[in-house]
Amino acid sequence: MGFSSALQSRAAHEALIVRQDAELRLMETMKRSIQMKAKCDKEYAISLTAVAQQGLKIDRADEMQGSLITKSWRSYLDELDQQAKQFKFNAEQLEVVCDKLSHLSQDKRKARKAYQEEHAKIAARLNHLSDEVVRKKTEYQKHLEGYKALRTRFEEHYIKAPSRSGRKLDDVRDKYQKACRKLHLTHNEYVLSITEAIEVEKDFRTVLLPGLLEHQQSVQESFILLWRNILQEAAQYGDLTADKYKEIQKRIDTVIGGINPTEEYGEFTEKHKTSPTSPMLFQFDETLIEDIPGKLQSSTLTVDNLTVDWLRNRLQELESAVKDCQEKQLKMIEHVNGGSPVANGSIISNGSNTSNGIQSNKDSQCRQSKDLNALRCQEKQKQKLVDMIKCALNEVGCEELPSGCDDHLTLEQTFIENGYNNEQQRSNSTSSPGLGIMNELMRRGGVLTLLRGRGRHFKRKSTPQPTTPTTRCRQGRFNKLQPRSQSLGSLSISLSTNRPLYEEEWFHGVLPREEVVRLLNNDGDFLVRETIRNEESQIVLSVCWNGHKHFIVQTTGEGNFRFEGPPFASIQELIMHQYHSELPVTVKSGAILRRPVCRERWELSNDDVVLLERIGRGNFGDVYKAKLKSTKLDVAVKTCRMTLPDEQKRKFLQEGRILKQYDHPNIVKLIGICVQKQPIMIVMELVLGGSLLTYLRKNSNGLSNRQQMGMCRDAAAGMRYLESKNCIHRDLAARNCLVDLEHSVKISDFGMSREEEEYIVSDGMKQIPVKWTAPEALNFGKYTSLCDVWSYGILMWEIFSKGDTPYSGMSNSRARERIDTGYRMPTPENTPAEMYRLMLKCWAADAESRPHFDEIYNVVDALILRLDNSH
């Protein structure tokens, strides 16, 4: 049953129109879905390419020379890259499918319109004739009534007239004859109209409407066929079981299957083949006890009243550890041999397979044998220590142990009561408790006593030691650590000071840990800083000692300050005590303070800066016009909101760390960084002209080509300088450049900059200025100075368009798609042809084809010189 016979009614016609509308809506839905799939596939292809690129970054690949697994890995990543290209190709084909679906939708709309118009046309004629028949019938009835009335009147006059003549009778006869003629004419018209309507209705019902419906059915079915083909094509480009993917997977399986464990290390072993290692010699350093009288002997345990309890406890721990090792060995042997005992301790396989599905039974047995050997070694090592301690205890053989104190070394009871008796609990297990501190004090070269009372430090009872070049150097370096009224000729100095902590030059305020680490380079370097932990301010001592160590200053209940030693009334006194006594900050760390690191010249005090008025807002906080108290110089100050997390504060200070080493007229100058207290501030030169973007828009009518080219040259000069310093700006744009009162452009806003020749983004692509960023950076997260060249081309376009928005009217994603297909923005009005050609060179798809900033500067400079000479 087809359209021609089944859909002739008006209701069926309207239902067909509704169905076509529904099909058009379905097409639109399909098109949007396929577009989304194409976009997802493109993004996946980009991510897959980034994965392959990241995987190929094998550090020190020369060390993996000859490795089969490295070769397989590289081949595997190459195939991943092929997969990415296939996904990208399929995504592009899906976009073609979307275009086909769009065309099909347009054609279907046209076909629906043509059908409606044709149906309305043939139906209109039938309706017109139907209306005509009704009208003729109405006329027929009207003339028939008139005819009857005139005929009756004529008959009445004719009968009454005596002579069958007369003027009145003639008049009645004429009217009657006219009525009769009109009736007959109307009769004929009515008959003809009925006859025509019958024929038209018959043709409409049997020829025209069936023909139209039959044609419409053919058109609809043709659309369904095309629609099906489009869907098949879309499915084809989303088929992950396609032969191309199977071939890629087959190649991956082949390269991975080619890994042979027995051949993997052949080349490596041959290259690094050496003789068996010689035994390492461990022996007691007898110089440690040369100046210590008493019973300490090299390589011999000392048993006395200070050590016996510790030795006995240590013996118990070791005996327990030996027993534990023995039990673990027994369990392992029973597990391997199915519970049967092993006479000689060897592993006897019972054929059971303990493989986890990845290792073979042989591998599992090798691993168990290795673990068993390790346990035996541990047992033997600990048993050796057990025997040594037992031997030492047996040699004493009496309850009254010899004294562990040297007669000439005396300590006041307060020394022990104030916390140093706890050294026994904190000392390392390899040293004798109680002696650790005394030996340390003896090594310092004098008898120390702890003066009673809060806030005091150790003094030597002996006469002051002669000042050596070393001590003179130490005292000179520490000059800034003490009040200015103190004398450094002796260690016994007054510790009273009224200066606040933030005035000490070795106090670096809230400088982040990453910045602190940069300043501490040699063992003994130290500084003091402030940190915020759990919304609470804490003072931290940072020391370089076998790495970098950070000690939080502890506060006592009485409001004093300490580490592991005695408390002091101020942090300055505590730090000076640690420095002059040369005692470790903590026993565990062993860190000794040797050289205070003072603030760098660019570390300003917050109180040196007076904020005047807010002139803008940045990513991290407000920007102010300010004045330096010392020089009365007007400056610009970027502030960092106190509520930002530490990670954001580190990023904020990154701009200052980069700028502090640069000096160029086209780079905004750093004056200093304020980190003594919150808020953190970056102080820079005040560039009165403000943002280049704002300047371009405000002065759009007054800018000449010469001025615009000068701006381009300034920017190129600044970027040439940065390129020479291996600095990648990553956010070059008119909004991030400043203009001074002499119309000179300065590069600013280094918040996203990196000081390296190549930088790979690993924290995602958030906050990326898409319309200013090079395609390779967007697609692969790879930044080089040539990415800044692309951005410079956009900056040139902004300058010559006088502040217009790049890719106006396009979303970021649309602009990115157009760029990938080769689109480049047209030249702004009145732009010199040479400058536009330079823009296009900056926008080369291949980064290596772009000019470097040195070449860009020379080109722009030559064009300006030629322009000046022509005038």
For 709-760, the pLDDT digits (tens) are: 999 999 999 999 999 988 888 889 999 899 988 889 999 886 665 544 554 4
**Range of lowest pLDDT (294-303, 358-367, 682-691):** 358-367
* pLDDT at residue 266, rounded to an integer: 78
| Nearest in space to 834 (alpha carbons), one of 798, 863, 794, 855 | 863
- Number of Cα atoms under 13 Å in the Cβ half of residue 193: 22
Output the CA torsion 699→702→704→707 (10° steps). Answer: -50
- pLDDT score at 819: 93
- Which of the pair, 573 or 455, is modelled with greater confidence? 573
Q: In this structure, how many other beta carbons lie within 10 angstroms of the beta carbon of residue 174?
A: 12
Provide the pLDDT confidence category of residue 436 given band limits of 50, 70 and 90. very low
Each residue of 18-62: pLDDT tens digit? 998 999 999 999 999 999 999 999 999 999 999 988 888 776 556
Check the CA dihedral 687-690-691-695 and report its sign: negative
Of 746, 743, 681, residue with least CA distance to 719: 746
Interstrand relation of 681-685 and 670-674 (parallel, antiparallel or unpaired): antiparallel
For residues 518 and 51, what is the distance between their CA atoms, to the nearest angstrom?
A: 32
Q: What percent of the chain has pLDDT over 90?
A: 31
pLDDT at 540: 93
Query: What pLDDT is recorded for position 521?
Result: 92
Radius of gyration of the chain (CA): 49
3-state secondary structure of 524: coil
pLDDT of 145 above 50: yes
Numbered residues of the known binding site for ATP? 638
Given this model, what pLDDT does residue 156 score?
A: 81
Judge whether residue 346 has pLDDT over 90: no
- Residue 731: active-site member: yes
Rounded Cα–Cα distance for residues 514 and 19 (Å): 68
User: Mean pLDDT lowest for which of 161-175, 448-462, 495-509?
Assistant: 448-462
Predicted confidence at residue 294, as pLDDT, reads 58
**Domain 603-685 in this protein, CATH class:** alpha beta
Contact, 829 vs 857, CB < 8 A? Answer: no
Q: Decide: 237 and 94 in contact? Cβ < 8 Å.
A: yes
Predicted local distance difference test score (pLDDT) of residue 394: 62
Taking Cα atoms as reference points, which of 633, 613, 631 lies closest to residue 623? 613
Q: What are the sequence ranges of the domains in the chain?
A: 12-236, 300-341+361-404, 451-594, 603-685, 692-870
Q: Mean of the pLDDT values across residues 66-89?
A: 87
User: Which run of H or E residues covers position 153?
Assistant: helix 68-160
What pLDDT is stored for residue 60 in this prediction? 59
State pLDDT tens for residues 789-838.
999 999 999 999 999 999 999 999 999 999 999 999 999 999 999 999 99
Give the three-class secondary structure for 783: strand
Predicted pLDDT of residue 458 = 33
User: Looking at this protein, which amino acid is placed at residue 435?
Assistant: L
pLDDT number for residue 545: 94
* CATH 1.10.10.10 for domain 451-594: no
Q: At what angle do helices 10-55 and 209-236 cross, to 10 degrees?
A: 10
Place of tokens 């109180």: 607
SS (H, E, C) 462-485: CCCCCCCHHHHHHHHHHHHHCCCC
E-only strand ranges, 349-465:
448-449, 459-460
Catalytic residue among 81, 731, 749, 788: 731
Residue 89 confidence (pLDDT):
92
- How much is the average pLDDT of 137-156? 88
Give the model's confidence band at 288: pLDDT under 50 very low, under 70 low, under 90 confident, else very high. Answer: confident
Give the pLDDT confidence score for residue 754 in this predicted structure. 56
Name the least confident of 138-147, 464-473, 483-492, 762-771. Answer: 483-492
Q: What is the pLDDT of residue 601?
A: 76
Q: Are 607 and 677 in contact (CB under 8 A)?
A: no
Region 761-788: mean pLDDT is: 78
Q: What are residue 637's phi and psi, to 5 degrees? A: -125, 125
Provide the pLDDT for residue 767: 65
pLDDT in the model for residue 434: 35
Give the pTM. 0.41
Dump pLDDT digits (tens) for 657-713: 777 778 899 998 888 888 877 888 989 889 888 889 999 999 888 889 999 999 999
69 has pLDDT over 60: yes
Q: What pLDDT is attached to residue 802?
A: 93
- Segment 157-173 shows an average pLDDT of 73
Quote the pLDDT of residue 733.
93
Task: Please tell me what DSSP assigns to residue 640.
Answer: -
Share of the chain above pLDDT 70, in %: 80
What is the average pLDDT score of the chain?
79
pLDDT confidence of 438, banded at 50, 70, 90? very low
For the beta carbon of residue 593, count every other beta carbon within 10 angstroms: 25
3-state helix, strand, coil in the chain (%, to 5): 55, 10, 35
Tell me the residue type at 754: R
- Of the candidate ranges 63-77, 333-347, 664-678, the one whose mean pLDDT is the lowest: 333-347
Question: What residues form the annotated binding site?
Answer: 638
Phi and psi at residue 309, in whole multiples of 5°? -65, -45
For 409-429, what is the mean pLDDT? 34
12-236 CATH fold: Substrate Binding Domain Of Dnak; Chain:A; Domain 2 (1.20.1270)
C-alpha span between 597 and 265 (Å, rounded): 49
Q: What is the C-alpha to C-alpha distance for residues 88 and 80, in angstroms, rounded to an integer?
A: 12
Between residues 213 and 453, the one the model is more confident about: 213
Q: Is the pLDDT of residue 466 over 60?
A: no
Q: How many CB atoms lie within 10 A of CB 14?
A: 10
Q: What is the pLDDT of residue 360?
A: 57
Rounded CA-CA distance 531/152 in Å is: 124
CATH code for the domain defined by 692-870: 1.10.510.10
Which of 129-138, 301-310, 775-784 shows the lowest per-residue confidence on average (mean pLDDT)?
Answer: 301-310
Q: pLDDT tens digits, residue range 82-125?
A: 989 998 999 999 999 999 999 999 999 999 999 899 889 988 98
pLDDT at position 341 over 50:
no
Q: How confident is the model over 579-631, as pLDDT tens digits?
A: 999 999 999 899 999 999 988 777 788 888 999 998 888 778 888 999 988 88
Which amino acid, one-letter code, is at 672?
G
pLDDT at 395: 52
CA–CA distance, 62 with 269 (Å, rounded to integer): 14
Tell whether the model's pLDDT for residue 306 goes beyond 80: no
- Residue 74: phi and psi, rounded to 5, are -65, -45
The confidence score (pLDDT) of residue 290 equals 72
Q: Copy the structure tokens of residue 514.
A: 């990453």
- Tally Cβ neighbours within 10 Å of residue 259: 15
Max Cα–Cα distance, the chain, nearest Å: 186
- Position 297 scores a pLDDT of 78
Write down the pLDDT at residue 765.
Answer: 43
